[in-house]
Chains A and B, each alone.
Chain A
Amino acid sequence: MESAIEPAKAKIEKKLKISGSEALVRSLLAEGVDLMFGYPGGAIMPVYDAMYDFQDQLHHVLTRHEQGAIHAAQGFARATGKVGVVLATSGPGATNLITGIADAMIDSTPLVCITGQVFSTLLGTDAFQETDVVGISIPVTKWNHQVTRAEEIPEAIAKAFYIAKSGRPGPVLIDITKDAQVQEFDFSYKKCEEIRSYHPIPALDKSMVEKAAKLINEAKKPYLLFGQGVILSHAEAELKAFIEKTGIPAAWTILGLSALESNHPLNVGMLGMHGNYGPNLLTNDCDVLIAVGMRFDDRVTGKVSDYATQAKIIHLEVDPSEIDKIIKADVPLLGDAKIGLKALLEKVKPNEHKEWLQRFRDCDKKEYEKVIKDELYPSKPELTMGEVIRMIAEKTAGDAIIVTDVGQHQMVTCRYSKFIKSKSNITSGGLGTMGFCLPAAIGAKMGAPDRQVIGVIGDGGFQMTIQELGTIFQTEIDVKILILNNQFLGMVRQWQQMFFDKRYSATEMVNPDFQKISAGYGIESRKIDSRDVLEDAIDTFLNHKGSYLLEVIVGKENNVFPMVPAGCAVSEIILE
């Protein structure tokens, strides 16, 4: 035995020099990566070749389009809190990533994208499949870098992971020329722990904590808004402890959704254009507004000059450039949401705000009567999106990961889904990328294989990345696909109805037979259009072993309400 081992050992020691491609694979392994999404091509082939020897440690998912790969990596990152990794070739492979990179940038999703590039000697010569992806991606990456020598690979990858996941997370792109992939060098790997020009978490200013606590303790009508910062900094428990101690009602942005369980008595609902009535209306009535890990997106604020002008604003945020960007903070609390909430928790006094909370309850009642009742328990024969989502929420007891696309179904799903666990709502919030859902659901399932993953998609968005059914087919994963089909680009149609005199320009969809398409990919399916079979269809859908597609025909011209019309103040929210 010993004699057999000796020569092998000697061989390994001799082979100290490895290729840039193998170094990349070993660097990814050193960062704990065991799954990545990608699509091969000429300029990344040496890397794919190196991966061939590491298949048992580093699983690669072949999507059907690079956009599918990056949205899958986003879904993976959002479901797990880990860094999503994407691999693509140069030129079109790289440019096909851009939408997903922009989406990850605006929604603070940690990604490391690795693109192949032409030989360094060919850079700038319009070589085959050459594109300046570093230049193109500058505005939509947290950081990017081109590697032209193999020995730079370990450091570049170490920095990429550190930057992607630290502070306010975001996408990083590393472009590696083909010669760097094949050159050999002495490999060693050291994780990056510090970059002198980059300080991801600003130190909390204690005097500001004091000021904030004083405002909160003296407030009569305090109100807390939270965003994804709570999820990204793992501050769910601190958030709950804070609102429970102070009795402050809390509302969420759609990226903050699921950080606080839906049935918590202080969870007052959704902010924004199609959010709940009370959370919007009472923004302009509270006396102290505490914003935690959110950035006052225009879909949340409505007309900025009329936003919470009566309130003192406390803004707890990790990114200094978000402070005062949209809403001026009276007390800026620069820092990590978890650390900030912990510090505040020590300083605030136990309190209750029963009357104030009752105001939200009263608004809920009004919204229920005017909007929710008809959406969830409709009397008209045609199905509503809301009743489908309500039934799914009931049957899953809020335990599923819900992935949405963009549009009416997204707003309805965020409004009516129920959650009991964090990281369970995955949607494209900031960029509003149609086509996000199907690949993101695939990535989420791969990141959280033990959880039920349900993708809710409109008939429009489904067809933007429909090819990813092929990824489901090949990987045999279990993703439930719910198409809420209104045969329209529903949200645009709703705006056309309300603000463009019902001129339905280019919004009606003549759709193919989704069941036939699904059958081609070996995915079982059902199409329904009546309430009688809804429960049966949803039972089958949820309990089916493996992926399943359920198409529900819903009312063609249903609208999502309430609504803060564009350019209006949040308090001008309309119920019908």
Chain B
Amino acid sequence: MNVTKKEFTISVFSENHVGVLHRITTIFTRRGINIESITVSESEIHGVHRFNIVVTETEDHIKKVVKQIEKQIEVLRSFYYPLSKIIYQEIALYKLPIKAVQNGAGIEQIIRDNHARILTVEKDFLVIEKTGHKGETQALFEQLEPFGLLEFVRSGRVALAKSAKSFKDYLKVPELGKRITEQEVREMAEKID
């Protein structure tokens, strides 16, 4: 059994009801697992919400957590993935004082190099946007910091599985919301490195 901690992304598909978020987070709280990032929004299916939760834990614990999440009445399905099995992005916004771009200090080149873009320019400040992995948005942060960065925000992770399956495939009527079987858990585990 692998006891080293790794970064995992857990996807949860649930009904959009009050309290589901609380029910899910309490499962992590019980085991003392810190949630590093979390995003929630409606999925490709109307009324079904998708959570993306990033945690660093042993795979053994994650497997048990995922099953305990699936046990919640309003959860349709839950999956977990190592980094290698997902396509993911985060978005970061950077607010700079307007003077940072006025004195020809090379901001333009930084934006170009990082494939970032300017969202807005106001009288006193401008906002730059960059999407990418944490390392990339962090690199831009470090380059912009000397220009007197006023504010910085990074989103939680949004992630999709590297698989041609749609979540709808798991939800086909009459198997709508079919619970994960033990066999599937094991197959999933085998696919993971």
Q: Which residues of A come within 8 Å of B, CB atoms?
A: 134-135, 138-139, 142-146, 163, 195-199, 202-203, 205, 208, 319-321, 323-325, 332, 334
Cβ–Cβ < 8 Å partners of A332 in chain B? 182
Contact assessment for B73 and A197 in the assembled complex, using a CB-CB cutoff below 8 Å: yes
- Known pairs A205-B182, A320-B71, A320-B180; A197 contacts B15 (CB<8 A): yes
Contacts A198-B74, A202-B181 known; list 10 others, CB within 8 Å.
Answer: A135-B19, A138-B23, A143-B73, A197-B14, A197-B177, A199-B179, A319-B71, A323-B67, A323-B182, A324-B64
Size class of B's contact patch? 20 to 34
- From residue A138, how far is it (CB to closest CB) to chain B in Å? 5
Of residues 57 to 83 in B, which have CB atoms within 8 Å of A's CB atoms? 63-64, 67-68, 70-71, 73-76
Query: What are some 12 contacts across the A-B interface (CB < 8 A)?
Result: A195-B73, A196-B76, A196-B176, A197-B76, A197-B177, A198-B177, A203-B181, A205-B182, A205-B183, A320-B67, A320-B71, A320-B180
> Once the chains are docked, how many angstroms separate the CA of A135 from the CA of B178?
27
Contact assessment for A197 and B63 in the assembled complex, using a CB-CB cutoff below 8 Å: no
Would you list the 6 A-B pairs with minimal beta carbon distance, nearest first? A321-B67, A332-B182, A199-B179, A143-B73, A196-B177, A197-B177
Contact assessment for B178 and A199 in the assembled complex, using a CB-CB cutoff below 8 Å: yes
Cβ–Cβ < 8 Å partners of B75 in chain A? 197
Q: Is B22 an interface residue (CB 8 A)?
A: yes
Cβ–Cβ < 8 Å partners of B179 in chain A? 199, 202, 320
Cβ–Cβ < 8 Å partners of A323 in chain B? 67, 182
Q: Name the CB-closest residue of A to B65.
A: A321
Q: Is B30 an interface residue (CB 8 A)?
A: yes
Interface SS of chain B: mixed
Contact assessment for A198 and B182 in the assembled complex, using a CB-CB cutoff below 8 Å: no
Residue of A135, A142, A145, A321 with most chain B CB atoms under a 10 A cut-off: A321
Cβ–Cβ < 8 Å partners of B185 in chain A? 320
Contact assessment for A163 and B70 in the assembled complex, using a CB-CB cutoff below 8 Å: no
Of residues 14 to 72 in B, which have CB atoms within 8 Å of A's CB atoms? 14-15, 18-19, 22-23, 26, 30, 63-64, 67-68, 70-71
Contact assessment for B64 and A321 in the assembled complex, using a CB-CB cutoff below 8 Å: yes
Contact assessment for A334 and B182 in the assembled complex, using a CB-CB cutoff below 8 Å: yes
Contact assessment for B76 and A321 in the assembled complex, using a CB-CB cutoff below 8 Å: no
Contact assessment for A138 and B19 in the assembled complex, using a CB-CB cutoff below 8 Å: yes
> Once the chains are docked, how many angstroms separate the CA of A169 from the CA of B74?
16
Q: Name the CB-closest residue of B to A334.
A: B182
> Once the chains are docked, how many angstroms separate the CA of A158 from the CA of B109?
63
Cβ–Cβ < 8 Å partners of A319 in chain B? 71
Cβ–Cβ < 8 Å partners of B63 in chain A? 324
Contact assessment for B26 and A139 in the assembled complex, using a CB-CB cutoff below 8 Å: yes
- Known pairs A196-B176, A196-B177, A320-B180; A139 contacts B64 (CB<8 A): no
- Known pairs A138-B22, A205-B183; A325 contacts B73 (CB<8 A): no
Cβ–Cβ < 8 Å partners of B182 in chain A? 205, 208, 320, 323, 332, 334
> Once the chains are docked, how many angstroms separate the CA of A323 from the CA of B18?
29
Contact assessment for A334 and B181 in the assembled complex, using a CB-CB cutoff below 8 Å: yes
- Known pairs A138-B26, A205-B183; A197 contacts B74 (CB<8 A): yes
Residue of B14, B22, B26, B181 with most chain A CB atoms under a 10 A cut-off: B181
- From residue A53, how far is it (CB to closest CB) to chain B in Å? 32
- From residue A69, how far is it (CB to closest CB) to chain B in Å? 24
Cβ–Cβ < 8 Å partners of A320 in chain B? 67, 70-71, 179-182, 185
Contact assessment for B181 and A205 in the assembled complex, using a CB-CB cutoff below 8 Å: yes
- From residue A304, how far is it (CB to closest CB) to chain B in Å? 12
Cβ–Cβ < 8 Å partners of A198 in chain B? 73-74, 177
- From residue B19, how far is it (CB to closest CB) to chain A in Å? 6
> Once the chains are docked, how many angstroms separate the CA of A319 from the CA of B72?
11
- From residue A415, how far is it (CB to closest CB) to chain B in Å? 32
Cβ–Cβ < 8 Å partners of B76 in chain A? 196-197
Cβ–Cβ < 8 Å partners of B30 in chain A? 139
> Once the chains are docked, how many angstroms separate the CA of A135 from the CA of B19?
8
- Known pairs A196-B176, A202-B179; A134 contacts B68 (CB<8 A): no
Residue of A135, A142, A195, A198 with most chain B CB atoms under a 10 A cut-off: A198
B167-193 near A? 1/0 per residue, CB < 8 Å: 000000000111111110100000000
> Once the chains are docked, how many angstroms separate the CA of A332 from the CA of B184?
12
- From residue A42, how far is it (CB to closest CB) to chain B in Å? 24
Cβ–Cβ < 8 Å partners of A205 in chain B? 181-183
> Once the chains are docked, how many angstroms separate the CA of A145 from the CA of B76?
18
Q: Name the CB-closest residue of B to A207.
A: B183
> Once the chains are docked, how many angstroms separate the CA of A106 from the CA of B26?
16
- From residue B179, how far is it (CB to closest CB) to chain A in Å? 4
Contact assessment for A135 and B22 in the assembled complex, using a CB-CB cutoff below 8 Å: yes
- From residue A337, how far is it (CB to closest CB) to chain B in Å? 16
Q: Name the CB-closest residue of A to B67.
A: A321
Q: Which one of A144, A195, A199 lies within 8 Å of B19 (CB-CB)? A: A144
- From residue A156, how far is it (CB to closest CB) to chain B in Å? 12
> Once the chains are docked, how many angstroms separate the CA of A334 from the CA of B23?
24
Cβ–Cβ < 8 Å partners of B14 in chain A? 197
Q: Which one of A139, A144, A321, A334 lies within 8 Å of B70 (CB-CB)? A: A321
> Once the chains are docked, how many angstroms separate the CA of A139 from the CA of B63?
19
- From residue A459, how far is it (CB to closest CB) to chain B in Å? 34
Cβ–Cβ < 8 Å partners of B71 in chain A? 319-321
> Once the chains are docked, how many angstroms separate the CA of A197 from the CA of B179?
8
Residue of B26, B179, B182 with most chain A CB atoms under a 10 A cut-off: B182
> Once the chains are docked, how many angstroms separate the CA of A203 from the CA of B178?
10
> Once the chains are docked, how many angstroms separate the CA of A135 from the CA of B21?
11
Q: Name the CB-closest residue of B to A329.
A: B182
> Once the chains are docked, how many angstroms separate the CA of A518 from the CA of B181?
54
Contact assessment for B19 and A134 in the assembled complex, using a CB-CB cutoff below 8 Å: yes
Q: Name the CB-closest residue of B to A162.
A: B73
- From residue B187, how far is it (CB to closest CB) to chain A in Å? 13
Residue of B14, B18, B71, B183 with most chain A CB atoms under a 10 A cut-off: B71
Cβ–Cβ < 8 Å partners of A324 in chain B? 63-64
> Once the chains are docked, how many angstroms separate the CA of A205 from the CA of B184?
12
Cβ–Cβ < 8 Å partners of B178 in chain A? 199
Q: Name the CB-closest residue of A to B29.
A: A139
- From residue B77, how far is it (CB to closest CB) to chain A in Å? 9
Contact assessment for B26 and A142 in the assembled complex, using a CB-CB cutoff below 8 Å: no
Q: Name the CB-closest residue of A to B64.
A: A325
Q: Name the CB-closest residue of B to A203.
A: B181
- From residue A165, how far is it (CB to closest CB) to chain B in Å? 13
Cβ–Cβ < 8 Å partners of B15 in chain A? 197
Cβ–Cβ < 8 Å partners of A146 in chain B? 18
Residue of A145, A197, A323 with most chain B CB atoms under a 10 A cut-off: A197
> Once the chains are docked, how many angstroms separate the CA of A80 from the CA of B71?
26
Q: Name the CB-closest residue of A to B68.
A: A321
> Once the chains are docked, how many angstroms separate the CA of A323 from the CA of B184?
13
